[in-house]
Amino acid sequence: MIELIPAIDIIEGKCVRLTKGDYDQKTIYGDPLEMALEFERLGFCRLHIVDLDGAKSRHIVNSDTLRTITTRTQLVVDFGGGIKTDSDIEQAFDCGATMVTIGSVAVTQPELFHSWLNRYGADRIILGADVRNGRISINGWKEDSTEELLPFLQRYIDMGVKNVLCTEISKDGTLAGPAIQLYQQVMASYPSLHLIASGGVSSIDDIRQLDIRGIPAVVFGKAIYEGKIDLKALIEQSK
């Protein structure tokens, strides 16, 4: 069964969702800790947290919220957003993150990313591959790089990367369905990769379609907050 990973995106200490990464298209859904506790109560084991303030500011901002969630729950937390320096990544792990998602640094400072991969290990480092028009976007999706997805993945898989979080930006927050063709293309090229699909999930059927196609994991957020997915039913089906 596909790994189910609910998402909490944070701005100013609140749980929010953006549409297509646009900070001007923001919906606030409440307290991140309350959401995390509810996910744990329902039976989820893993949580994806994004510090959107951090992604925009290029340094971690919401570390206190991360620490509160990792202290008050037993969830396995992967954390991303604003991790740019050694002190940032150390702070994320010190605040209880089990894994970190690194995207921009892999594009702008590949030697630094490689050093983190060697220092912390491939099980604790998730390569963030946020895609817009076939190219990798960075710095909170504010900038598009010249990096094309598959060559970008190949380079880091060759270095030992095992986990990739791939977000199709045009789908994110739209409830328009995931970019299944894109994820199939990635898995066809790298069948042993632990690929985490992200963006566009609107229903249990969307998750089922990803599962049928062998996608290892999925992150989803807005569909939860908008009541599009019955979480109890989803958990039952995953058992």
Contact criterion met (CB below 8 Å) for 51 and 10:
yes
**Which of 54, 48, 57, 103 minimizes the C-alpha distance to 81?**
54
Residue 151 CB-half CA count within 13 A: 8
Is 205 an annotated catalytic residue?
Answer: no
Three-state SS at 230: coil
Contact criterion met (CB below 8 Å) for 78 and 97:
yes
Contact criterion met (CB below 8 Å) for 60 and 84:
no
User: Could you tell me which residues come within 8 angstroms of residue 198 by beta carbon, excluding any fewer than 6 positions away?
Assistant: 7, 165, 166, 167, 168, 172, 218, 219, 220
Contact criterion met (CB below 8 Å) for 173 and 19:
yes
Site of tokens 């993150």: 97
Is 9 an annotated catalytic residue?
Answer: yes
Q: Which amino acid is at 70?
A: T
Q: Which of 78, 88, 130, 211 is catalytic?
A: 130
Three-state SS at 185: helix
Q: Which amino acid is at 154?
A: Q
Catalytic residues: 9, 130
